[in-house]
């Protein structure tokens, strides 16, 4: 039985502000001031980091997002065009990585990062937990360094059997060294409303522009830290300028309030760290350690470790693109990898081939061969740059096209490696 999830956020239409200097609506972005985003910009913009936003998709041609979007996937329609018909995903994307300094709209936390849109929610803002789990796995196998989950449920998912698949997918992502950031939820309950909370996942609560916990934000057990989410003060004369303005569907901008808006601030700062060579749980630990303390001294139930602080997070790590940062004065190269889904839809394979993400330690030509029943059924090759993730595609041979379903072994040869990397997959 498929259980539906719904977005937990408050929607407020922002008034159109007068055009200003560089990005006209920067003056409305109290949220970026709160986390000292400008103070991190001189160190890194997040270049080289990939942030997967698992949500309602994206308007890829939005003027403030065009050119920022990398490869994504639509789990709802099972295709490679995750078009946003709701607006929520586009809003979250803009907080993470809207183009900065282009004289249009808003700025963002990590304007140099690549955004990976993964659509798991329909145009009504609802979706299935199965699609969410598949979306997390897609991000893991396609080169994401950070996963953002601005998703909520009508009831908390913690302990619910239906949430087991999502919980397992989150744990796989964490084990793969991915920073997983999730919204705490908007029910105001004393527990993070996410699976795997407290086991490496960064659960994010919301604060308003006065650094007070937003009334709707869940808190307490499992909370990692907080970020700007707005006040949600609709209808009492405090709506304009109280919430988080960002990109929205229809090439527009809106103010929204919710922990859905808080989470991408943390995901964006995580991308800044990734670009400097600090990844996985090391990044999660640094985000908590450098947060601005709020409330009672030290970690507390209302604010967790405190308010995420971009400037403090990157301080002392040095500039440069991903893999060029230093930690303790030693350069940390990026490890080669091969990431591929275990199961592939036959229809998608016939149309797009068998796709995987690879990273090599040396420049050169990456090659892939897919063997089923002792015969080659797909192959492919492409040139890759050292320490840069790339998509490698194996196209079906004539024999492969004649096979409706099959189990196969994928053999990938990466430049600089003596032995091929082998994975088992199933196409059906």
In sequence order, the β-bridge partners of residue 191 are: 221
CA dist 222 and 203 (Å) reads 7
The string of DSSP letters for 195-249 reads TTBTTTBEEEEEE-TTSPBPTT---SBT--EEEE-----TTTT--TTTSEEEEET
Which member of 150, 153, 217, 260 is catalytic? 260
Q: How many CB atoms lie within 10 A of CB 79?
A: 16
User: Which residue in the list 62, 88, 265, 344 is annotated as catalytic?
Assistant: 88
* Residue 88 known to be catalytic: yes
Does 260 qualify as catalytic in the annotation?
yes
Q: What is the rounded distance in angstroms from the CA atom of residue 185 to the CA atom of residue 191?
A: 9
Instruction: Give the DSSP per-residue string, 124-183.
Output: TSEEEHHHHHHHHHHHHHTT-SEEEE--B-SS--TT-GGGHHHHHHHHHHHHTT-EEEEE
Bridge partners of 407? 426
> Which 3 state secondary structure label does DSSP give 412?
strand
Query: Which tokens in the block code for residue 202?
Result: 């960064």
CA distance 144 to 136: 10
Q: How far apart are CA 92 and CA 96, in angstroms?
A: 7
Give bridge partners of residue 382 from the DSSP assignment. Answer: 366
Q: Which residues of 166-202 are buried (b: 16+ CB within 10 A; e: fewer)?
A: bbebbbebbebbbbbbbbbbbbebebbbbbbbeebbb
Q: Is 137 a catalytic residue?
A: no
Q: What angle do CA 112, 148, 258 make, to 5 degrees?
A: 105
Cα separation values, 78 from 119, 170, 351, Å: 9, 21, 12
* Whole-number Å distance between alpha carbons of 110 and 97: 5
Q: Which of 23, 55, 64, 131 is catalytic?
A: 55
Residue 218 and residue 186 in contact, taking contact as beta carbons nearer than 8 Å: yes
Q: Which two tokens stand for residue 216?
A: 């709707």
Please give the positions annotated as active site.
Answer: 55, 88, 260
């Amino acid at each position: 039985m498929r259980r539906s999830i719904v977005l937990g956020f408050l929607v407020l239409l922002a008034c159109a502000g007068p055009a200003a200097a560089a990005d006209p609506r920067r003056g409305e972005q109290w949220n970026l001031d709160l986390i000292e985003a400008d103070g991190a910009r001189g160190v890194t913009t997040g270049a080289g980091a990939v942030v997967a936003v698992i949500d309602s998709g994206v308007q890829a041609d939005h003027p403030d997002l065009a050119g920022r979007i990398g490869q994504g996937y639509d789990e709802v329609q099972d295709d490679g065009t995750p078009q946003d018909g709701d607006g929520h995903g586009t809003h979250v994307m803009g907080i993470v990585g809207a183009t900065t300094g282009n004289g249009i709209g808003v700025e963002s936390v990590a304007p140099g990062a690549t955004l990976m849109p993964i659509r798991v929610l329909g145009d009504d803002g609802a979706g299935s937990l199965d699609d969410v789990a598949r979306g997390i796995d897609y991000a893991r196998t396609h080169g994401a360094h950070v996963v953002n989950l601005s998703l909520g449920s009508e009831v908390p998912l913690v302990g619910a059997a239906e949430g087991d698949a999502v919980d397992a997918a989150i744990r796989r992502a964490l084990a793969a060294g991915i920073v997983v950031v999730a919204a705490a939820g908007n029910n105001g309950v004393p527990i993070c409303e996410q699976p795997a909370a407290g086991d490496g996942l960064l659960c994010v609560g919301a604060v308003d522009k006065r650094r007070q916990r937003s009334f709707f934000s869940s808190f307490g057990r499992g909370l990692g830290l907080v970020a700007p989410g707005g006040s949600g003060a609709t209808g009492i004369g405090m709506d304009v300028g109280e919430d988080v303005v960002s990109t929205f569907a229809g090439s527009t901008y809106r103010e929204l309030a919710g922990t859905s808006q808080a989470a991408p601030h943390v995901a964006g700062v995580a991308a800044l760290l990734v670009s400097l060579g600090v990844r996985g749980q090391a990044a999660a630990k640094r985000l908590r350690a450098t947060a601005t303390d709020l409330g009672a001294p030290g970690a507390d139930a209302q604010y967790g470790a405190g308010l995420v602080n971009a400037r403090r997070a990157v301080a002392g790590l040095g500039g440069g693109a991903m893999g060029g940062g230093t930690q303790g004065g030693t350069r940390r190269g990026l490890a080669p990898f091969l990431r591929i889904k275990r199961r592939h839809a036959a229809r998608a394979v016939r149309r797009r081939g068998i796709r995987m993400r690879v990273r090599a330690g040396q420049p050169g030509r990456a090659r892939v061969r897919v063997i089923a029943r002792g015969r080659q059924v797909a192959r492919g090759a492409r040139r890759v740059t050292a320490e840069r993730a790339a998509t490698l595609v194996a196209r079906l041979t004539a024999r492969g096209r004649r096979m409706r379903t099959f189990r196969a072994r994928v053999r990938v040869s990466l430049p600089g490696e003596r032995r091929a990397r082998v994975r088992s997959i199933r196409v059906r």
